[in-house]
């Protein structure tokens, strides 16, 4: 008889929040790690939200997912991350009224220092970490720096939502189907300085560069629409993107574990190896392929002056965030 696969321990922080609620049921249904891998869920929350997370756990039970082995709810990171194979760090401190950027970095620096240390102590050897909570890139930088025994490349931040938004906008503009668009790229920070790049894209039978030649559309429509989409959703919905963010987080981990299609790549924020002139160690978004369970930055892309300027601007923002958390002693 074939042995059944070992269950994967998946920890979701911010499990009682909107993204957590949109992600957990799909994870338990097998959409993230595939239909053969049993799932053990660990929901990590702050004490005041533990009761709400327990309610979500009851609903997960009630869904009778065949792959779902067990669920635990914790407010202690060392218990929530114990033996974890995949950690989705969704919970973070949101910006509140009157809060300065420095205050936000400080509040989150604290959270991601504690979580990085706990992961370092108790996570499974091959743990994969995805930071969703904003400021995602710098939170991932802080967590990675506080987990010296985990290889830095296992810490990533989510720019797949930006990547998916770029595909959707290009599909809408070109008339091509989403499935016929490949090789878009997000560079830099998950913020309004990000650079969505279509110069290397394939759009059906056409090239992204053909569409990029229309500089008016590119600079006044496409780039700002993708880069400011999060704010536009907040404006329209009165709440930030939740289902699309959960969807992107699931896409990210799915491709990390199961691979990217041969003809395509995706975008992930991960510690720079110095590629494309991005300072080593900064958690910056790149076009990447997933090969044998690891991300590899796509190499050899020609970066013209138009793109260079925009990548550099977003990287400069990441450097200033890094300098701020360094100044506060988090890294
Ligand atoms: N990278 C991306 O593409 C996106 C990132 N986001 C970010 O994702 C984060 C979560 O968004 P939502 O789920 O909508 O927020 P939410 O406010 O609905 O939920 C956040 C949850 O995190 C919990 N939490 C806070 N600190 C925690 C900690 N130290 N440990 C465990 N849990 C903690 C809260 O109790 C709350 O239940 C926000 O920072 C948001 O800005 C949102 C959309 C896209
Ligand atoms: O600012 C937020 O919370 C939302 C966000 O990151 C996005 O939708 O890209």
Amino acid 2: pLDDT: 63
Percent of the chain with pLDDT over 90: 95
> Would residue 331 count as lying in a domain?
no
pLDDT at 311 over 60: yes
- Report the alpha-carbon distance of residue 15 to residue 261 in Å, rounded: 30
Angle between helix 50-62 and helix 18-28 axes, rounded to 10 deg: 30
Interface confidence (ipTM) of the complex:
0.99
Backbone angles phi, psi at 294, to 5 degrees: -125, 150
Q: Verify that 138 and 167 share a domain, yes or no.
A: no
**Token pair of 69, please?**
């082995």
> 1 pLDDT exceeds 60?
no
- Nearest-atom number in ligand 1 for the CA of 52 is 37
Query: Is 117 labeled as ligand-binding?
Result: no
pLDDT range class, residue 101, cuts 50, 70, 90: confident
253-286: b (≥16 Cβ within 10 Å) or e:
bbbbbeebeeeebbbbbbbbeeebebeebbbbbb
Q: Is the pLDDT of residue 76 over 60?
A: yes
d(CA 8, CA 313): 39
Tell me which of 132, 156, 180 is where a domain ends.
156
In a domain, 187, yes or no: yes
- Average pLDDT value for the chain: 97
Classify residue 78: in a domain, yes or no: yes
Q: What is the pLDDT of residues 111-127, one digit of tens each?
A: 999 999 999 999 999 99
Domain ranges, residue 225? 160-321
Tokens of 157: 């931040």
Q: Does residue 175 have a cis peptide bond before it, meaning omega lies within 30 degrees of 0?
A: no
Starting at the edge strand found earlier in the chain, the sheet holding 202-203 runs 181-182, 202-203, 206-207
How much is the pTM?
Answer: 0.98
pLDDT tens, 228-286? 999 999 999 999 999 999 999 999 999 999 999 999 999 999 999 999 999 999 999 99
Alpha-helical runs (H) found in the chain: 18-28, 50-62, 77-80, 101-122, 136-145, 160-174, 208-212, 215-217, 223-227, 229-237, 243-258, 305-327
Active site (catalytic) residues: 190
Task: With CA atoms as reference, report the closest residue to 132 among 105, 113, 151, 159.
Answer: 159
Query: How far lies 32's CA from each of 38, 252, 257, 329, in Å?
Result: 11, 9, 9, 35
pLDDT value, residue 97: 79
| 131 and 225 inside one domain | no
Residues 145 and 203 in one domain: no
Query: Which positions ≥6 away from 238 have C-beta within 8 Å?
Result: none
Q: Is position 295 within any domain?
A: yes
Let me know whether 13 and 134 are in one domain.
yes
Q: What is the pLDDT, as a whole number, of residue 99? A: 82
> Does ligand 2 come within 6 angstroms of the Cβ of 137?
no
Q: Give the total number of structural domains in the chain.
A: 2
Instruction: Classify residue 330: in a domain, yes or no.
Output: no
133 is in an annotated binding site: yes
Cα separation, 87 vs 143, in Å, equals 12
CATH code: domain of residue 175? 3.90.110.10
Residue 9 has pLDDT above 60, yes or no: yes
Inside any domain, residue 1: no
Q: What tokens appear for 167 in the block?
A: 């595909």
Q: Do 309 and 164 belong together in one domain?
A: yes
pLDDT digits (tens, 9 = 90+) for 245-261: 999 999 999 999 999 99
Is 326 within a domain? Answer: no
Q: How far is the CA of 93 from the centre of ligand 2 (A)?
A: 13
Q: Is residue 202 part of a domain?
A: yes
The dihedrals phi and psi of 220, each to the nearest 5 degrees, come to: -100, -15
Max CA separation in the chain (angstroms): 62
- Ligand 2 pocket member 240 (CB < 6 A): yes
In this structure, the answer to whether residues 250 and 284 fall within a common structural domain is: yes
Indicate whether residue 134 lines ligand 1 (CB < 6 A).
yes
Same domain, 83 and 95: yes
pLDDT score recorded for residue 19: 98
């Amino acid at each position: 008889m074939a042995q059944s696969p070992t269950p994967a321990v998946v920890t979701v922080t911010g499990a009682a929040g909107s993204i957590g609620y949109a992600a957990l049921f799909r994870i338990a249904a097998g959409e993230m790690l595939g239909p053969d891998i049993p799932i053990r869920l660990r929901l990590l929350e702050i004490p005041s939200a533990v009761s709400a997370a327990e309610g979500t756990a009851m609903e997960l039970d009630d869904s009778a997912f065949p792959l779902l082995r067990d669920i635990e709810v914790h407010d202690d990171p060392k218990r929530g991350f114990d033996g974890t194979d995949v950690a989705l760090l969704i919970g973070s401190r949101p910006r509140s009224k009157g809060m300065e950027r420095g205050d936000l970095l400080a509040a989150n620096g604290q959270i991601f220092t504690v979580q990085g240390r706990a992961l370092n102590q108790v996570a499974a050897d091959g743990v994969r970490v995805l930071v969703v909570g904003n400021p995602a890139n710098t939170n991932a930088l802080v967590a990675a720096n506080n987990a010296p025994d985990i290889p830095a490349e296992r810490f990533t931040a989510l720019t797949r939502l930006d990547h998916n938004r770029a595909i959707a906008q290009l599909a809408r503009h070109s008339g091509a189907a989403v499935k016929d668009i490949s090789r878009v790229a997000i560079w830099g920070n998950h913020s309004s300085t990000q650079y969505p790049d279509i110069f290397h894209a394939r759009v059906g039978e056409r090239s992204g560069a053909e569409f990029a030649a229309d500089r008016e559309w590119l600079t006044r429509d496409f780039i700002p629409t993708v880069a400011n989409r999060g704010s536009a959703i907040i404006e329209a919905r009165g709440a930030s993107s939740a289902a699309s963010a959960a969807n992107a987080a699931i896409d990210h981990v799915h491709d990390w574990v199961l691979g990217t299609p041969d003809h395509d790549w995706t975008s992930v924020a991960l510690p720079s190896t110095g590629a494309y002139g991005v300072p080593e160690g900064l958690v910056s978004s790149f076009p990447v392929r997933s090969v044998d369970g690891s991300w590899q930055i796509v190499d050899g892309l020609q970066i013209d002056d138009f793109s260079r300027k925009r990548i550099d601007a977003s990287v400069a923002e990441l450097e200033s965030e890094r300098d701020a958390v360094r100044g506060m002693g988090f890294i």
